[in-house]
Amino acid sequence: MSMDAVARTEMFRAMHARGEQQPVSWATARRIAVFARPMRARLLLFLSLSVVTAVLAVATPVLAGRVVDAIVDGGPAGTVGALAAIIAAIALGEAAVTLASRWLSATIGEQLIFRMRTAVFDHVQTMPVAFFNRTRTGALVSRLNNDVIGAQRAFSTTLSGVVSNLVTLVITLVVMLSISWQITLAALILLPVFLVPARYLGRRLAGYSLAAAEYNAAMSDQMTERFSAPGAMLVKLFGRPKAESAAFAGRAAAVRDVGVRSAMVQSGFVTALTLVSALALALVYGLGGYFAIDGRLEAGSVVTMALLLTRLYAPLTALASARVDVMSALVSFDRVFEVLDLEPLLTETADPVPIPAGPVGIELDAVDFAYPAADQVSLASLESVAVLDPRAGRQILHEISLTVEPGTMVALVGSSGAGKSTLAQLVPRLYDVDSGAVRIGGVDVRDAASAELRGTVGMVTQDGHLFHSSVRENLLLAAPEAGDGQLWESLERARIADLVRALPDGLDTVIGERGYRLSGGERQRLTIARLLLARPRVVILDEATAHLDSTSEAAVQAALAEALTGRTALVIAHRLATVRAADEILVLEAGRIIERGTHTTLLAAGGRYAELYRTQFADT
C-alpha cells in the first residue's frame, strides 16, 4: 500500500470515528464475545488468514531486493528467474488468501448484521405502544442501520486489521533492523511527522463529519415530513412554499459549506502525508545509497528497505488509530445493546390460561390506570433528551367496573380526554392496568397467551392505519393463509368490493403510504374488511366514524353492522346517533363512569348524556 493510500485510508477512518471516546467496557466486550460465539470457527480462520497475508506482504519486498542483487552481481539468470517465479507464486497465493479473507469477512460481517438487526427488530416488537408514542422513528431506525453496521466493522475490519498490522509491523521491523538498523531508526524519526497531522486533521475531519451528519439529518427530516401526503397538503393549505424553500435552502447551504471545509482539510491531509512519504523514501534512498556506495549495504537491500517502508508506516499508523476504531465499535455495540436491554413493560406469562371457546364477554373490575413513566418504556437517546422524566403520567382511569355480556354491545361516550380510548386499549392488553383486572371470557388478559388474545379481540381505530403495500398484503395481515375467495368475501361484507375491483390492479393495487390513495371512508371500510377476515369474537370500535362525511359514514356504518353481528362489542362514539341501539351506554368523564343505562333511560334522566345529546342535535 502506498503512503498516499495509507493517508486516504486513515482519513476515512478518522471521518467515521465517533466524536467521543468511552472507556473500554469489559461487560460489553463479554457480550460481544457471546454474540460472536456461533461464528468463532470462521473468526479464527479469518484471523489466521490475516496473519498469512501479513507474512506474504513482507516476503515480496525481500525477494525483490534479492532479484536486484542477482542482477547487479551478473546472474545467474536461473536465479533471477527462480526468484521471479517465487514472487509470482506469492502474488497468486496472496490473491487467493485475499479472496478467502474477503469471503470470510463478508460472511462474518453480514451474519453479524443479520443477527443483530433481527434481534433488535424482534425485541422492539415486544415493546408497548407507549414506547412507540415516545420514540423518534428515525433514531430507532438508525440503531438498526448505522449502529449495527458500526458494530459489524469491529469484526470485518478492526479485529483483522489489528492482528495483521501487528504481525506485519513485527516482521517488517525485524527484517529492516537485520538489513540496516541505522536506516530503520532514521525512518522511525519521521513517524511523528506522519502521525501528528494525521491525528490533528483527523479530529477536525471527524468534527466535520459529525456536523455534516447532523445537517443532513435536519435536511432529511424536513424532506421526510414535507414529502409525505399530509405534510405536503399542510404546506399548500397554509401557502408557505417560499418559507419552506428558504428553510430547506438554509439546511442545504449548511451541508454545502461543511462539505467544502471537509474537502479542503482532506486535501491538506493527503498532501501532508504524501509529502512525508516522499521525504521518507528520499531518506531511505539517500542514506541507503550512501551505504551501498560505501560498500556497507547491497543495492538490493536499499530496494528492499524502500519497499518495506510502507509496510512499516502503514501498520504503525493503523495501530495508532486502532483505539479510535475499537472505541467507535464499542459505542456502536453499546447503543445496540441499550435497545436490547430495555425491558418490555408487558411480559408473556409462562403458563397461559386458554380463553374459553364460543362467545365471550368483557369484564373490567375496579380498574385504575395511569400511563407509565418515560424511564419505564423509553430511552433518552431515542427521544433526544438528556434525562428521561421518571414521573408517571396522571391517573386516567379511576375504579372502572363494567361488563359486556357475550354477544351484546356496550357504548362509551363522554368528553374528549375522558379516558375512553385508554379504556379500550386495556382490553387487547396494549397496556396493563395498575390495579384491578381486565377479563375476556373470565380469563385475566395478563394470564392469556398474547397470540390467542390477538385472535380473540379485534380493534378498529379512527385513523385505520394501512401500510404502503397492496390491498392484498394489507388484508393478509389479519389472516396470512387466506385465499382470494376469503379476501373477496370480507371485502363484500365491508361494502368495498366494488371499489377494489375498479382499482387498476384489483387486490394487487398499491394504495400508498397510510392508504392515502383511498378516501377516509374507503380506508375505514378496508380496515373493517381486515377485521372481518380475522374473525374476532370481541370487537372494539374506537371512534371508527369520527372524521367521515355523511355518505362515507353511512357506508362504514353498514360495514360495521356486518362486523358486529353475533360478536361482543365495545364501541366508543362521539356521534351519539351511532350508539342508540347499544344494549348499554356508559358515560365516562374524568376517568370515572358517571352514568349508565340505555339511550332512552339516559335521556329521561336528564344528566350528562342528555346534555351531550341536546348539544349535538340542537340544530336538527
- pLDDT computed for residue 131 by the predictor: 81
Q: How many CA atoms lie within 13 A of 238 on its CB side?
A: 10
Q: What is the DSSP letter of 393?
A: P
**418-455 residue pLDDT tens:** 888 889 999 999 889 999 999 999 999 999 998 899 88
Lowest mean pLDDT among 290-304, 393-407, 552-566: 552-566
| Nine cell digits for residue 66 | 534479492
- pLDDT computed for residue 355 by the predictor: 92
What is the signed CA dihedral for 277, 283, 284, 287, rounded to 10 degrees? 180
**244-282 residue pLDDT tens:** 888 888 888 888 888 888 778 777 766 766 777 778 778
Res 18 pLDDT > 60: no
Res 496 pLDDT > 70: yes
Comparing CA positions, the residue from 177, 39, 27, 172 lying closest to residue 104 is 39
Q: 413 phi and psi, to 5 degrees?
A: -130, 165
Q: 40 or 353: which carries more pLDDT confidence?
A: 353
Comparing CA positions, the residue from 74, 158, 179, 64 lying closest to residue 112 is 158
Rounded Cα distance between 546 and 518, Å, is 17
HEC string for 70-131: HHHCCCCHHHHHHHHHHHHHHHHHHHHHHHHHHHHHHHHHHHHHHHHHHHHHHHHHCCCHHH
**91-112 residue pLDDT tens:** 898 889 888 888 888 888 788 8
Percent of the residues in the chain that have a pLDDT greater than 90, as a whole number: 12
Bridging pattern class, strands 538-542 and 568-572: parallel
Q: What is the DSSP letter of 409?
A: E
- Average pLDDT value for the chain: 80
Q: What is the DSSP letter of 353?
A: P
Confidence of residue 202 (pLDDT cuts 50, 70, 90): low
Name the segment(s) of the chain with CATH classification 3.40.50.300: 362-382+392-466+536-616
Highest mean pLDDT pick, 154-163, 184-193, 232-241, 429-438 = 429-438
Confidence of residue 400 (pLDDT cuts 50, 70, 90): very high
Confidence of residue 397 (pLDDT cuts 50, 70, 90): very high
**126-152 residue pLDDT tens:** 888 878 877 777 677 777 777 777 777
- pLDDT computed for residue 548 by the predictor: 58
Name the segment(s) of the chain with CATH classification 1.20.1560.10: 3-340
Bridging pattern class, strands 457-460 and 538-542: parallel
Res 201 pLDDT > 70: no
Res 235 pLDDT > 80: no
Q: What is the DSSP letter of 348?
A: -
Q: Do residues 109 and 86 make contact, with C-beta atoms less than 8 angstroms apart?
A: no
CA dist 472 → 231, 462, 619 (Å):
27, 21, 43
| Close Cβ partners of 559 (under 8 Å, ≥ 6 residues apart) | 493, 494, 495, 496, 524, 525, 528, 529
Comparing CA positions, the residue from 210, 321, 326 lying closest to residue 273 is 321
Res 313 pLDDT > 60: yes
- pLDDT computed for residue 550 by the predictor: 62
- pLDDT computed for residue 392 by the predictor: 66
CATH architecture of 362-382+392-466+536-616: 3-Layer(aba) Sandwich (3.40)
Query: Angle at which helices 322-340 and 3-15 pack, to 10 degrees?
Result: 30
Average pLDDT over residues 487-513: 86
Q: CA gyration radius for the chain?
A: 35
- pLDDT computed for residue 310 by the predictor: 74
Lowest mean pLDDT among 115-119, 214-218, 265-269, 321-325: 321-325
Comparing CA positions, the residue from 308, 261, 259 lying closest to residue 281 is 308
- pLDDT computed for residue 298 by the predictor: 84
What residue has cell string 371508527? Answer: 544
Percent of the residues in the chain that have a pLDDT greater than 70, as a whole number: 82
CA dist 520 → 49, 463, 555, 582 (Å):
61, 8, 11, 25
Rounded Cα distance between 585 and 583, Å, is 7
Confidence of residue 157 (pLDDT cuts 50, 70, 90): confident
Lowest mean pLDDT among 115-119, 223-227, 290-294, 355-359: 223-227
- Number of helices and strands in the chain (H, E): 25, 10
Confidence of residue 388 (pLDDT cuts 50, 70, 90): low
Q: Do residues 269 and 148 make contact, with C-beta atoms less than 8 angstroms apart?
A: no
Q: Does domain 3-340 have CATH number 1.10.40.60?
A: no
Average pLDDT over residues 463-486: 85
> What is the DSSP track for 231-291?
HHHHHHHTT-HHHHHHHHHHHHHHHHHHHHHHHHHHHHHHHHHHHHHHHHHHHHHHHHHHH
Q: Do residues 143 and 336 make contact, with C-beta atoms less than 8 angstroms apart?
A: yes
Q: 187 or 246: which carries more pLDDT confidence?
A: 246
Q: 343 or 563: which carries more pLDDT confidence?
A: 343
Average pLDDT over residues 577-584: 82
| Nine cell digits for residue 307 | 519497499
Burial of residue 92, with CB atoms counted within 10 A of its CB: 0-12 exposed, 13-18 middle, 19 or more buried:
exposed
- pLDDT computed for residue 21 by the predictor: 45
What residue has cell string 552481481? Answer: 73
HEC string for 519-565: CHHHHHHHHHHHHHHHCCCEEEEECCCCCCCHHHHHHHHHHHHHHHC
- pLDDT computed for residue 19 by the predictor: 45
Confidence of residue 514 (pLDDT cuts 50, 70, 90): low
What is the signed CA dihedral for 612, 617, 619, 620, rounded to 10 degrees? -170
